[in-house]
Amino acid sequence: MNYYCFYYTFILQNYLNNFINNFINFLVGNYSENEFKIFRLQYGLYRQKSSYMLRLSIPYGILNFDQFFLISYISYIYDKKYFHFTTRTNIQFNWIKLFYIFEIFKKTFLFFINSIQSSGNCVRNITSNINKFLNPTPWGEIIRQWFTFNSEFLFLPRKFKISILSCKKDYIIFKCHDLGIYIKKNFFNNLIINFLIGGGLGRTPVIGFYILKNIHWNKILNYFDKIVRIYNIYGFRNNIYKSRLKILIKSLPHFNYLSFIYKEFNYSNKHIYFFNEKNINYFFCLKKNNLKNYFLKKKIIYNNFFLCWLKNNIFNNFLFIPIKNNNTPSGDVNYLQIKIIYYFLNKTFYIFIFNRQNLLLDCSYLNIYLIYLKLKKYFLNIYNSFLITDSICCPGQDYCVLANAKSIYLLNIIKYMFLDFNTIFKLGKISLNISGCINSCGHHHVSNLGFLGVNKSGENYYQIYLGGNYNNFCSLKFSKAFLPSVSNFKIFYFF
């Protein structure tokens, strides 16, 4: 459904025209590489080791069939026939040529996807869970359109990430975002909002805390605007490692930050950002369908492998589709897997990108047994959901210029150590995350078993982290470093 209004479309078109003008100036030599870097980061363009990388912002991780078809088309025509799902529910193309960037932008704009503000010091992305009973996507779309192209927040002290949660099960690491809202219903069945600030991973992992509770949903933009504005004014800009909101919260007691929020209400108009049910209903909602799997019970009786697959892949009426094979990096979707996903999307309305670089489908109107046979036919590793083989891994030193060590190499060796399903099922649900640098793109801080890559005299070393947990937002805790860093040859003694 079209969720770009006329004004938003007009502003987006002007941004695309602005890009082509500045891009031509860079090609003819009017801009240097460093001058062009500040500009291209606002459009999601990164410089990697071998080529440029384009990051597309997927709104709250939901794709329909047309959008997924476009992404696969771009990967086939302009890339190497695959793309990458990130842990922030974005999509990356690692082998994009600059000459075709504007052509890609025009195509994505027609399907209501863009890469603007997917990187740089701005509000980058909005992560949300999926919930059929309390859908957070309308709020996510309103917040996204409010911060996109907002000239006041284009140059924040550091990157800023927002999360939206509307259920008890936390698969988006809700408390590890700079700003988050928890949507719930009170005793009178009215929607209320709790605001959380000050979380983050990376060099200084911090769990956020609630600063405002029981706020009416129609005031959400008021508080979002004031919280980010205070961070923009008082955030540290002299040290890149101390510029996050979590560091500002430590230097300013939280009651001082709260007093700044209410002072901002006195300086600005209180009623300008209010919205009502009509604004919410303008944006799309998840469709529901109550068709059932008629032959499901019979298939369960006669197929033990199918029963085992159901046990590991069906949660809260959603089907987890793992896309991780032993011979591919985590999050990469190749051409064969794209064709299989086409088959599922033809019979459903949307697909959801999961935080662990997998996919989710609403299985209430799908033939689950047919999906099982299709996955099994094309040799996807379908039994690894939430097991040790269902691991998260950042691109590492193979692609990223910021990485200190290789991560894909380590992950592939660990996967080949666990080829026996009996051993994997005996271990149970274990989250294994690998990050190539301290930026924690692989979320090693919140996993049961995590590896952090470090560089010592040009050699790959890894710091081992144990004991993290993030499934329930009430019991989130970080893993702790275990022993000094070891080389990649010694890691396998721990298994």
Please report, for the domain that includes residue 469, its CATH number. Answer: 3.30.413.10
- In degrees, rounded to 5, the angle at the alpha carbon of residue 14 between the alpha carbons of residues 10 and 17 is 140
Residue 117 lies in a domain: no
Rounded alpha-carbon distances, angstroms, from residue 462 to 398, 415, 436, 451, 468 = 16, 17, 9, 6, 17
Mean pLDDT of the chain: 82
248 and 160 part of one domain: yes
Task: Please tell me the least confidently modeled range out of 98-112, 129-143, 365-379, 440-454.
Answer: 365-379
| CA–CA separation, 50 and 397 (whole Å) | 11
Q: What is the pLDDT of residue 287?
A: 45
The whole-angstrom separation of Cα 317 and Cα 361 is 9
Contact between residue 65 and residue 345 where contact means Cβ atoms under 8 Å apart: yes
Here the tokens at position 368 are 């689950």
CA 353/CA 84 separation, integer angstroms? 11
Q: What is the mean pLDDT of residues 364-374?
A: 76
Single residue among 252, 282, 312 that ends a domain in this structure: 282
Determine, yes or no, domain membership for 288.
no
Q: What are 393's two structure tokens?
A: 């891994």
Q: Which residue, 70, 56, 80, is CA-closest to 111?
A: 70
| Rounded Cα–Cα distance for residues 431 and 452 (Å) | 14
H/E segment holding residue 486: strand 480-487
CATH number of the domain where residue 61 is located: 3.30.70
Residue 161: enclosing H or E segment and its boundaries?
Answer: strand 160-165
For residue range 50-79, list pLDDT tens digits in order: 889 999 988 788 888 888 888 999 999 999
Q: Is the pLDDT of residue 292 over 50?
A: no
The domain in which residue 475 lies consists of 392-494
Query: What's the rounded mean pLDDT across residues 304-321?
Result: 79
Closest CA to 202 of 436, 463, 465, 440: 440
> Among all chains, which residue has been given the structure tokens 């047919």?
370
The CA–CA distances, whole Å, from 467 to 430, 478, 487 equal: 10, 7, 21
88 and 46, same structural domain?
Answer: yes
**What are the residues facing 193 on neighbouring strands?**
183, 215
Q: Does 382 reside within a domain?
A: no
Domain count, the chain: 4
Residue 132 lies inside a defined structural domain of this protein: yes
What would the pLDDT profile of 313-367 be if each residue is shown by its tens digit? 887 778 888 788 766 788 888 887 888 787 777 766 688 888 888 888 877 667 7
Where are the extended beta strands (E) located within 239-391?
Answer: 314-315, 318-321, 332-333, 351-353, 359-362
Percent of the chain with pLDDT over 90: 15
| Both structure tokens of 137 | 């996507």
pLDDT digits (tens, 9 = 90+) for 374-424: 777 765 667 778 888 888 988 888 888 888 898 888 888 888 888 777 788
**What's the confidence (pLDDT) of residue 289?**
42
SS3 content of the chain, % helix, strand, coil (to 5): 40, 20, 40
| Mean pLDDT to the nearest integer, 447-475 | 84
Same domain, 20 and 82: yes
Contact 399, 437 (CB under 8 A): no
CB atoms within 10 A of CB 203: 13
Same domain membership, residue 246 and residue 138 = yes
Residues 175 and 262 reside in one and the same domain = yes
Q: Are residues 370 and 401 in the same domain?
A: no
Res 1 pLDDT > 50: no
342 & 199 share domain: no
Q: Note the pLDDT tens digit of each residue in 131-172.
A: 777 888 888 888 888 888 888 898 899 999 999 998 887 888
Same domain? For 182 and 252 the reply is: yes
Assigned domain for 463 exists: yes
User: In the prediction, which pLDDT does 490 show?
Assistant: 76
Q: End of a domain among 224, 254, 282?
A: 282
- Same domain for 128 and 245: yes
Rounded distance, CA 199 to CA 173, Å? 10
Distance CA 294, CA 365 (A): 11
| Amino acid 452: pLDDT | 92
Contacts of 443 (CB under 8 A, 6+ apart): 87, 173, 201, 392, 433, 435, 450
N- to C-terminal Cα distance for the chain? 49
Least confident of 4-8, 184-188, 477-481: 4-8
Q: Is residue 461 part of a domain?
A: yes
Answer whether residue 1 is part of any domain: no
Determine the Cα–Cα distance for residues 491 and 462; give it in Å rounded to an integer. 8
- Can you give the pLDDT at residue 305? 77
Q: Give the span between the Cα atoms of 355 and 127, in whole angstroms.
A: 9
Q: Which two tokens stand for residue 175?
A: 């408390």
Distance of alpha carbon 428 from alpha carbon 446, whole angstroms = 17
Q: Is the pLDDT of residue 9 over 90?
A: no
Residue 70 CB contacts under 8 Å (≥ 6 apart), including other chains: 107, 108, 111, 113
Cα dihedral across residues 364, 367, 369, 370: positive or negative: negative
Helices and strands (H, E) in the chain, number of each type: 15, 20
Distant-in-sequence contacts of 332-339, Cβ < 8 A, 24+ apart: 332/82, 332/83, 332/84, 332/85, 333/82, 333/83, 333/84, 333/85, 334/81, 334/82, 335/76, 335/81, 335/82, 336/378, 337/378, 337/380, 338/72, 338/75
pLDDT at 290: 41
**What gap in Å lies between CA 307 and CA 297, rounded to an integer?**
10
- Burial of 294-316, coded b for 16+ CB within 10 Å and e otherwise, reads eeeeebeeeeeebeebbebbeee
Contacts of residue 340, defined as CB under 8 A and 6 or more positions apart, other chains included, come to 374, 375, 378, 380
pLDDT tens-place string over residues 115-124: 888 888 999 8
Q: Among 56, 77, 110, identify where a domain stops.
A: 110
pLDDT on residue 194: 93
List the strands of the sheet with 318-321, edge to edge. 62-63, 351-353, 359-362, 318-321, 314-315
The reported pLDDT for the residue numbered 347 is 64
Q: How confident is the model at residue 228 (pLDDT cuts 50, 70, 90)?
A: very high
Average the pLDDT over 231-254 and give the result.
88
Both 269 and 189 in one domain: the answer is yes
Identify whether residues 401 and 488 lie together within a single domain: yes
Output the pLDDT for position 302: 62
In the three-class reduction of DSSP (H, G, I as helix; E, B as strand; rest coil), residue 230 is classed as helix
User: What pTM was computed for the model?
Assistant: 0.89
Q: What is the pLDDT of residue 99?
A: 87
Judge if 351 and 444 occupy the same domain: no
The answer to whether residue 383 is domain-embedded is: no
